[in-house]
Structure 1
Amino acid sequence: MIDTAKINYDLVAITPQGQTLHLNEVLRNLTWEENPGELAVRLEAELQNQQLPSGRWLHQQLPLGGQVFLYADWGADRQEIFRGTVFNWHYRTDPLGHFTITAYDPLIYLAKSKDDRYYSSGTLARVIIEDIAKAWQIPLGTVEGPDIGLAKQVFRGRTLADMIFDVLDQAKKRGAGKWIVRSKQGKIDIVRPGQNSPVYHFGADDSVAQVEDQQDIEDLVTRVKIVGAEDKEGRAPVVATLDGRTEFGVLQDLVYKEQYDNLAAAKAAAQDILAERGQPRKKRRITAPDLPFLRRGDKVHIAAGTLIGYYLVAGVVHNANDRTMSLEVEDVG
């Protein structure tokens, strides 16, 4: 395991004049995070405001739209951890003046932009995502797939991030497996999760400070009935029943056939409900020493509390102040 005491963090800003500012000496707090269901990494830094030798104040050199970079060195040479754009700026006094900036990596533009887009039947999922990235001038990095053709795609008024999530979901249902879209050094990567090497171990005796493991069936659905059209007396027949994990008892939802083109489409909708809500919910987190390079989609090994085995990182919050990170993990597969 890496000695976190030897990790060096370096937060850098590019001023409007094109100069490089190293911000560690005025840095009060620094975190960055990747969350489930989000494309972009979010970085938040709290900085002590001060006047620079040029006469300008620091806050003037970090405007909205400014560029920031985070580097780290853990004994494997200095590497870029984050690059992004300032989207939020908040100044306050206590009584000394300080301000907080919030920056996102380039994929934030896909999350905050809507568009209409069309792709013909048979277009590869990878090609759709590449086309969206190119339209928003995001360079392509490591693109490994998914190389599977999809049905005709018609998107109307959707965010580009939602389009990408839909494409990945459809590709998975067609047998392409799971894929991760993330940004690295300003480029978009499309990779399979769990391909990182080495796979780091987190154990109760050496690195894990806290374990949280919560499971519930509060929102579970174990049976979906498909209901047909009512007769003259108002009775509606059950035309199909799909069962899931009924060992938990019958927790039932309904699909109405008349809302779909045919029975096959109604069954597909019922199957989607079971796929989305047919398993117990699991919320599992650990707190451990920071590995600044660890990303959403990476594989880790945990042996602490009730978490024993290999897991994928579903979300991560890095804290440079106390050199810790909080990992939300999910099962591999």
Structure 2
Amino acid sequence: MSFEVVLDNRYFLSELVQEISLEESLEEISYRASIRLVVTPDLPGIIPGQEIRISGIPYGGTGMTYLLHPGIVWECSSSNSGTKYLSLTVYDRTIYLAKSEDERLMPSGQTASDRLKLYAKEWGIPVGNLPDTRISLARNIKRTQTLYSMIQEDLKETADKGGELFRPRMTTSGLELIKLGDNKTKWDLEVIEDVTQSRTLEGAVTQVKVLGAQASDEKLAPVLAVVKKDVEKFGTLQKVIQDSKIETIDQAQKAAQKTLIGIQETFSVTAPDINLIRAGDEVRLNGTTLWVTRVTHRLGTPGHMDLELALPGKVRRDYLV
């Protein structure tokens, strides 16, 4: 068997697994597993909150390695159509950051790395490798929102100010920050079962208007910059930006340039499973460098994977908007 499922570090459930998949996207923080089990008399009682881990033989390797650990059973549902099945939804521990809300005042001078350490410490989540994001962040009163949205806000400001694009990821060592596209192994997708290429103007931006701070409710906010690109080619598709951190015309023009984007191009790929690929990783398809925006691994022998891919420029733009 190419995978192993262990509950509470003592119940080995692999022989009861009918289906198992792992899913992750850039829009969410947590790695999610869906597991379908056959219910037998010796199946232990399973309830939300229990710890569970999933291991597998890494692509091109030997021996088991952790694919999702530590995992938390989040949801259980059973069905019976002659044979009884139990379906589990499992998340890594970052789910607590996605589901918990808070309000706080963050002083200026901290980096996104500094703030992530604070969030993780208060929620009892161990920290692994946290590279220095370097960019000094502005003072910020964070009104009631999820911890994950606070983290995303910090990482967006980091990128806005010229820093790298980072994504939080839970590993066996703890919560880490991963630079997008910086995976050591750049997987070449040579064997493809199906590929769909989509091009659309949905989401395109050809004109950006940047507004300054609004002085009163009776007057419109001043226009700091209007930047255009490919209006003649695609028509006017305008986005308005109003950000209190943008104070000068130069800052406004830079923010507008980052937002402009033409035809949106994405790829959907089904292929034999490479179970080490994660959201945010860089892969190559027919010589083109792409970033993984969503991945689903359907574990098995053989396994399969579904990938959503986009050009790095599109991911950067989407990340910043």
**TM-score with structure 1 setting the length:** 0.81
Residue of structure 1 in register with 2:73 after alignment:
86
Q: Which residue of 1 aligns with 2:35?
A: 45
SS of 1:211's equivalent in the other structure is strand
Which residue number corresponds to residue 275 of structure 2? Answer: 292
Q: Secondary structure at the match of 1:143?
A: coil
1:172 to 144, 149, 159: 159
The CA distance in 1 between the partners of 2:221 and 2:310, in whole Å, is: 40
Where do residues 4-19 of structure 1 align in structure 2 (5 Å cutoff)?
8-14=2-8
**Structure 2: how far apart are the matches of 1:105 and 1:125?**
21
Matches within 5 A, 1:1-333: 8-14=2-8, 20-52=10-42, 58=43, 60=45, 62-74=46-58, 75-83=61-69, 84-185=71-172, 187-203=174-190, 207-225=191-209, 240-253=225-238, 255=240, 264=247, 275-276=258-259, 278-303=261-286, 308-321=287-300, 323-332=303-312
Q: Distance in 1 between matches of 2:228 and 2:133?
A: 30
- In the superposition, relative to structure 1, how do residues 238 and 299 fare at CA in structure 2: closer, same or farther (>3 Å)? closer
In the aligned structure 1, how far is the partner of 2:264 from the partner of 2:196? 14
User: Per the alignment, do residues 313 and 22 of structure 1 end up closer, same or farther by CA in structure 2, a change over 3 Å counting?
Assistant: same
Deviation above 3 Å: which 4+ runs of structure 1?
A: 224-229, 234-240, 252-256, 259-279
- Deviation of residue 279 (structure 1)? 3.5
- Taking the aligned partners of 2:82 and 2:248, their CA distance within structure 1 comes to 62
Shift of 1:72: 0.9
Query: Is the contact made by 1:90 and 1:100 (CA closer than 8 Å) also made in structure 2?
Result: yes
- State how far apart, in whole Å, the 2-side matches of 1:140 and 1:327 are: 28
For residue 288 of structure 1, report the CA deviation from its aligned partner. 1.2
Gaps spanning 5+ residues in structure 2: where? 314-321
Report the CA distance shift for 1:41/1:261 in structure 2 as closer, same or farther (over 3 A). Answer: closer
Greater Rg over alpha carbons, structure: 1
Which piece of structure 1 moves more, 87-96 or 283-292? 283-292
Deviation at 1:332, TM superposition (A): 3.5
Matching residue's letter, 1:326? D
Q: Give the secondary-structure state (helix, strand or coil) at the position aligned to 2:49.
A: coil
Give distance in 2, aligned partners of 1:279 and 1:79.
41
Q: Secondary structure at the match of 2:189?
A: strand
Please give the per-residue CA displacement for 1:258-308, whole angstroms capped at 9, x wherever unaligned: x887994799679757645633323212111112222112222222xxxx3
**Residue 55 of structure 1: aligned partner:** none
| 8 A Cα contact 1:47 1:99, kept in partner | yes
Root-mean-square deviation (CA), in Å? 3.0
SS of alignment partner, residue 128 of structure 2: strand
Structure 2 residue identity aligned to 1:38: E
CA distance in 1, matches of 2:166, 2:99: 21
- Which residue identity does 1:296 align to in structure 2? A
Quick one: which amino acid aligns to residue 205 of structure 2?
V
Contact conserved, 1:255 with 1:269, CA < 8 A, in 2? no
SS of 1:25's partner is helix
Change (3 A) 1:66 1:266: farther
Contact 2:102 2:144 in 1 (8 A): yes
What is the DSSP-based 3-state SS (H/G/I as helix, E as strand, rest coil) of the residue aligned with 1:110?
Answer: helix
Distance in 2 (alpha carbons) for counterparts of 1:109 and 1:119 = 20
Residue-by-residue CA offset, 1:127-185 (whole Å, 9 max, x unaligned) = 01111111111111111131211111211111010111111111011111111211111
Say if 1:127 and 1:51 are closer, same or farther in 2 by CA, change over 3 A.
same
Where does residue 4 of structure 1 map in the other structure?
A: none
Q: Is the 8 A contact 2:224 2:252 kept in 1?
A: no
Preserved CA contact (<8 Å) 2:204 2:262: yes
Aligned residue-pair number:
304
Distance in 2, matches of 1:236 and 1:155, equals 23
Q: Deviations over 1:190-246 (max 9, x none)?
A: 12123323322112xxx11111111211332312356899xxxx9999775321332
Q: Given the two structures, how large is their TM-score scaled by the length of structure 2?
A: 0.84
- Over 3 Å counting, the alpha-carbon distance change for 1:261 and 1:71 in structure 2 is closer
Q: Deviation of residue 110 (structure 1)?
A: 0.5
Deviates more, 1:244-253 or 1:292-301: 244-253
CA deviations 1:74-115 (Å, max 9, x no partner) are 433311110211111101101111110001000100000000
CA gap 1:152/1:244 in 2 versus in 1, 3 angstroms: farther
